[in-house]
Structure formats: C-alpha cells, structure tokens
C-alpha cells in the first residue's frame, strides 16, 4: 500500500501544473492533493523536500 501512496504523491507532485486546479471527487486522492498543496504553500519546506516521502 505504501508503494501506491508514494506513486500517487510523486505523480501529483510532478504534474501539479495540471492537477493542482482539478476538482477531485475521490476522497483519498483529494486528500493527497490537499497534502501536496499544503507542502507547496509551506514557507519552511525546501524545494524538493517532501516530508515523509521516501528518497
């Protein structure tokens, strides 16, 4: 399961330009998108730094 979450988070991160404004109706995917949005908006997060993401 962690591999699926890792893949989805990386996909959202890499394609944020297209997916960032999408209205996602699937709750789990919408939650992952919310996490991505929060990480991108955090002034403490370094570029490329993903808390909890595998290297």
Q: Is the pTM of this model over 0.75?
A: no
Q: Tokens 């730094």, residue? A: 49
Q: DSSP strand E in 1-55: where?
A: none
**Per-residue pLDDT at 51:** 52
The one-digit pLDDT tens for each residue of the chain (55 residues) are 899 999 999 999 999 998 888 889 999 999 999 999 998 886 655 555 555 555 4
Write the DSSP string, 22-49: ----SHHHHHHHHHHHHHHH-TTSPTT-
Q: Which of the 8 DSSP states describes residue 23?
A: -
Angle 27-41/2-14 helices, nearest 10 degrees? 60
Residue 32 tokens, joined = 């992952």
**Per-residue pLDDT at 21:** 86
């Amino acid at each position: 399961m962690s591999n699926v979450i890792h893949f989805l988070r990386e996909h959202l991160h890499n394609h944020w330009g297209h997916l960032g404004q999408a209205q996602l109706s699937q709750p789990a995917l919408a939650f992952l998108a919310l996490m991505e949005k929060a990480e991108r908006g955090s002034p403490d997060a370094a570029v490329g730094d993903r808390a909890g993401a595998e290297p």
